[in-house]
Amino acid sequence: MRLDTITLPVTQYPLLQQPSVLSSSGGRLDIDLTVSAGKVQGPFGITFNSRLYNNAYPAPTIRCRAGDTVWVKLNNVSQDNNATRESEMSLNELHHPNSTNLHLHGMHISSEGRQENVVLTVDPGFSFQYVYEITPEHHSGTSYYHPHLHGSTNLQVHGLMAGAFIVGDDPKISPQELLAMDDLVVIVQGIYLGNSEAF
């Protein structure tokens, strides 16, 4: 089959939707990320229930610069977990589908205290204030944030809970041509549609 003979149904693919952007100013960024159940409208008319950040897909892009402090209050307003069944589960089996936490994938920050603590649990009805100290020497680039609670990571990440975390280029040392370019955020994820007990 020749590639130029394939016709794709273009009307079924909406324009690439860019996420909202939350940007630091004056060396600081204060944001709330709220985890809740929501509906996602996928391609080909597929609609499914999932968990989302700020009831949006794609999740907001977080932008900062090296040397900034990023305050993220993670609010979990999901429904309670099914405690009777979850007490029987091992660490990496599906359990606590509505408990969560936050991981900055690809960032070089401390794993202590209120920063990169992946063993922390934010249960439904609770919040946690993360404080990320981005060092002045931190590299620029695009990383991403997502939940990392053992037992629910796969369900939540493959349910589209993820967003871009961008440390901007240093305008003092970056070429003007690079700084003038438009950014286009693309997050590619697999979608987890299995296990109806998780909802």
The CATH number given to whatever domain includes residue 106 is 2.60.40.420
Q: Which of 146, 76, 160, 156 is nearest to 118 (CA)?
A: 146
7, part of any domain: no
Q: Say how many C-beta atoms besides its own lie within 10 A of residue 55's C-beta.
A: 14
Question: Considering the entire predicted model, what is its pTM?
Answer: 0.83
158, part of any domain: yes
Q: What is the pLDDT of residue 197?
A: 53
Q: What is the pLDDT of residue 48?
A: 79
Say whether pLDDT at 92 is over 70: no
Question: Which residues are paired to 71 by β-bridges?
Answer: 30, 131
Identify the domain containing residue 142 by its residue range: 21-198
pLDDT, tens digit (0-9, with 9 covering 90-100), for 37-49: 888 877 667 787 8
Residue 59, both tokens: 């999740």
Q: Under a CB-based contact definition with an 8 Å cutoff, are residues 34 and 56 in contact? A: no
Residue 166 corresponds to which amino acid?
I
Confidence bin at 4 (pLDDT 50/70/90): very low
Say whether pLDDT at 171 is over 60: yes
What's the rounded mean pLDDT across residues 98-112?
91
Q: What is the pLDDT of residue 93?
A: 73
15, part of any domain: no
182, part of any domain: yes
Say whether pLDDT at 19 is over 60: yes
12, part of any domain: no
Q: Which of 184, 182, 188, 140 is nearest to 162 (CA)?
A: 188
Q: What residue has token string 């939540």?
A: 156
> Domain tally for the chain?
1
Say whether pLDDT at 136 is over 90: yes
Q: Under a CB-based contact definition with an 8 Å cutoff, are residues 176 and 72 in contact? A: no
Bigger pLDDT: 117 vs 93: 117
30, part of any domain: yes
pLDDT, tens digit (0-9, with 9 covering 90-100), for 50-87: 899 999 888 999 999 999 999 999 999 998 887 545 55
6, part of any domain: no
